[in-house]
Structure formats: structure tokens, C-alpha cells
């Protein structure tokens, strides 16, 4: 009813400042015949808890509040849906409680309890927030005696209404929330170790530290590799350099006969191990503004395993998040 009315007013071919006036007129007509639907009806919700309202009044209050809220807000007026939903859910719950009390008085001895449980169940369906709804309804009523039935009702209402919500822009989970995107990404990355990406670690060509630059130049012309690990004679990793580090020598014919890989490489390199989490790896990559890290053995830092690239980490993360969303869906 709420969004149907909203869409109806959007389609009206009248100036926008006239629409709230029309909505106000419709609200006033309802209020003329049922004035209690226009007030801020927390007081009537309290009366319903103490069984001071009849079933027709409760149903009229719930139905009238649905229409007055839809006309007043849906036409472009200012207001919220939380207050009206408290009244609607409490009134419907009270009507249900009194109805069963009439026919089963020995079973339903406290029809006012249905008001409180109705509040929790209805707003759970409206907002898809079962846990927080149970808590604030219990706090509003200053009682946790109805916690168990509220849990049951809210669970049923949530399961039946997961496809709908009165809050159209509400995301289904923190995974889908732009506000928590960075926080969620960090949480996920911290749970994934480099070892899970072992199949994505690239085997690259390693160079001997004494290799002349002239020999490397021939290799460089035939490869798309950007990072080059440098090894000692014993096969121990001792440094690394990138394709950007060789620019000065690349166009100097005089130097290429004198320079060896040991002269170009960076010996104080940043590495990672299979036991490190991906968040730590990305921090290292970001800190140095590089695209790949050498993966080394944790017990023997000189033992080179391969190169782990930033793009592979991000691709793995996106795939991991997609699987989480599929499982939640």
C-alpha cells in the first residue's frame, strides 16, 4: 500500500507542490471519520496491551494508519514509517489476541501479550531485522518475559518476508553494503592465507647475480616478465629488480658490458610466505607501490617459491566474495 501510493503520486501529472496537499486531503478525510488514526498513537498501543480497546477499534486503527501513512508520506510529505508500524503491528496483534481470547479464554489468558509479540513480528517482516527488533521491543516494554515467543514469531516472519522490505535501499548483508565494503574486505583477507593461493603463484625466470647485462638484454627482448628474482650461485635468493629498474642501462651501450645483475638488483627486498594472510600481503604491495611479491620459504628465506601478483589476489578475493553471496542467497 505504501509504495503503491507513492508510485501513484509519482505518476500524477500535477505540480510536485500540489501532491502533498492532495495526500493531506485524503489523510484528513480518513481522520475525520477515525480521528485516532491521526495522532501519534503510542498511547493507544499501550491501551491495547491492557485490553482497553475493542477488536473493531484495533482493526480500524491498523487499517486507518496504513492509509494515512501512505497518503501523507507517499504524496511527498515528511515523516517516517517506524512510528506508524509500531501502531499497526500492535493493533493487529491486539486484535488477534482478543479474538482467540474470546473463543479460547483458558488457553489465551493474556491477549495483551499478543500486542508486544505483534510489534516484534510485524516490524521484523517490514525491515528484515529480527534480532534488533526483538531487543528494542523488549526494551520498550521493559520486559523480557515474552522473549521466547517473540523469537519464534520473528523467525517465522523473517523467513516469510526476506524478499520484501519497506526500506528499498536496505542491503541484504554487510557484504553488499558500500559503507562496510573496506571493513568487510579486510576481514575476509585476514582469514585467507597465501597457501590457499598456491596455485596462483607464478614460476618465473630467475637470473644469476653475475649474469652480464648484455646477456639479460637478449632475455628481456623475448619475455613479458616484469619482475626478475636474482640468485646466488647456490640457488639462494639474494635480490630482485623490475623492468623499470633497467631503463638507465638499457639504452647505454657503454654500461651494458660492465653491469651485472648484482648491480641492478635490490637486496633489501620485501617478501611474503605461505603462512601470511592476504591483508598483510596487500599492505606490503601498497606500501612499496609494486604489483608482485616474491614468495619464500618461511624457514629458509633464501628458498624462492615463486611470484604472487596483486591482480591474482584481487581476482581470488572477488571469487571468494561471490561464493559467499551465492551461499547466502
**229 near 305, Cβ under 8 Å?**
no
216: pLDDT strictly greater than 80: yes
Which ranges constitute the DSSP H helices of 161-196?
Answer: 181-191
**β-pairing verdict for 292-296 and 304-309:** antiparallel
How do residues 44-90 score in pLDDT, each as one tens digit?
767 777 777 888 888 888 888 889 888 888 888 777 777 787 788 88
Task: Give 296's strand partners.
Answer: 304
Average pLDDT for the chain: 83
Provide the CB-side half-sphere exposure for 95 (13 A, CA).
Answer: 15
**71 near 11, Cβ under 8 Å?**
no
pLDDT on residue 117:
84
How much of the chain, in percent, has pLDDT values that exceed 90?
24
The model's pTM is 0.50
176: pLDDT strictly greater than 70: no
pLDDT on residue 168:
66
**β-pairing verdict for 207-208 and 227-231:** parallel
For 212, counting Cβ atoms within 10 Å of its Cβ (0-12 exposed, 13-18 middle, 19+ buried), the class is middle
Chain center to CA of 223: 42
Rounded Cα gap, residues 162 and 116, in angstroms: 22
pLDDT on residue 181:
52
Rounded Cα gap, residues 244 and 247, in angstroms: 6
Distance set, CA 239 to CA 17, 56, 100, 266, 309 (Å): 71, 84, 80, 5, 17
Write down the residue that cell numbers 503491528 correspond to.
89
Identify the band that residue 193 occupies on the pLDDT scale cut at 50, 70 and 90.
very high
274: pLDDT strictly greater than 90: yes
Q: Which of 134, 148, 117 is nearest to 45 (CA)?
A: 117
How do residues 287-318 score in pLDDT, each as one tens digit?
888 999 999 999 998 999 999 999 999 999 88
329: pLDDT strictly greater than 60: no
110: pLDDT strictly greater than 90: no
Identify the band that residue 34 occupies on the pLDDT scale cut at 50, 70 and 90.
confident
- Nearest-5° angle of CA 287, CA 288, CA 289? 95
pLDDT on residue 310:
93
pLDDT on residue 292:
93
pLDDT on residue 186:
61
Pick the residue with more confidence: 93 or 184?
Answer: 93
Lowest-confidence range among 108-122, 162-176, 262-276? 162-176
Identify the band that residue 116 occupies on the pLDDT scale cut at 50, 70 and 90.
confident
How do residues 242-260 score in pLDDT, each as one tens digit?
988 887 777 776 777 788 8
Amino acid at each position: 500500500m505504501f509504495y503503491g501510493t507513492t508510485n501513484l503520486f509519482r505518476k500524477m501529472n500535477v505540480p510536485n507542490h500540489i501532491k502533498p496537499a492532495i495526500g493531506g486531503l485524503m489523510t484528513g478525510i480518513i481522520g475525520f471519520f477515525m480521528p485516532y488514526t491521526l495522532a501519534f498513537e503510542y498511547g493507544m498501543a499501550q491501551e491495547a496491551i491492557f485490553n482497553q480497546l475493542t477488536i473493531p477499534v484495533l482493526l480500524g486503527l491498523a487499517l486507518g494508519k496504513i492509509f494515512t501513512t501512505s497518503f501523507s508520506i507517499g504524496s511527498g510529505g515528511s515523516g517516517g514509517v517506524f512510528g506508524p508500524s509500531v501502531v499497526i503491528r500492535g493493533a493487529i496483534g491486539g486484535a488477534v489476541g482478543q479474538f482467540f481470547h474470546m473463543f479460547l479464554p483458558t488457553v489465551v489468558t493474556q491477549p495483551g501479550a499478543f500486542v508486544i509479540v505483534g510489534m516484534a513480528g510485524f516490524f521484523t517482516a517490514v525491515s528484515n531485522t529480527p534480532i534488533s527488533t526483538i531487543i528494542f521491543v523488549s526494551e520498550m516494554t521493559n520486559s523480557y518475559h515474552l522473549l521466547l515467543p517473540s523469537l519464534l514469531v520473528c523467525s517465522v516472519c523473517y523467513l516469510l518476508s526476506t524478499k520484501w522490505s519497506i526500506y528499498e535501499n536496505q542491503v541484504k548483508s554487510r557484504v553488499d553494503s558500500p559503507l562496510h565494503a573496506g571493513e568487510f574486505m579486510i576481514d575476509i583477507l585476514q582469514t585467507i592465507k597465501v597457501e590457499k593461493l598456491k596455485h596462483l603463484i607464478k614460476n618465473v625466470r630467475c637470473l644469476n647475480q653475475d649474469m652480464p647485462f648484455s646477456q639479460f638484454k637478449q632475455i628481456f627482448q623475448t619475455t613479458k616478465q616484469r619482475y626478475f628474482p636474482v640468485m646466488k650461485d647456490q640457488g639462494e635468493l639474494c635480490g630482485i629488480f623490475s623492468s623499470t629498474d633497467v631503463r638507465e642501462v638499457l639504452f647505454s651501450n657503454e654500461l651494458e658490458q660492465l653491469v651485472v645483475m648484482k648491480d641492478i638488483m635490490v637486496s633489501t627486498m620485501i617478501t611474503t610466505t605461505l603462512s601470511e594472510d592476504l591483508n598483510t600481503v596487500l599492505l606490503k604491495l601498497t606500501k612499496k607501490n609494486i604489483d608482485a611479491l616474491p614468495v619464500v620459504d618461511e624457514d629458509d628465506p633464501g628458498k624462492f617459491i615463486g611470484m604472487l601478483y596483486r591482480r591474482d589476489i584481487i581476482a581470488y578475493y572477488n571469487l571468494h566474495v561471490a561464493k559467499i553471496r551465492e551461499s547466502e542467497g
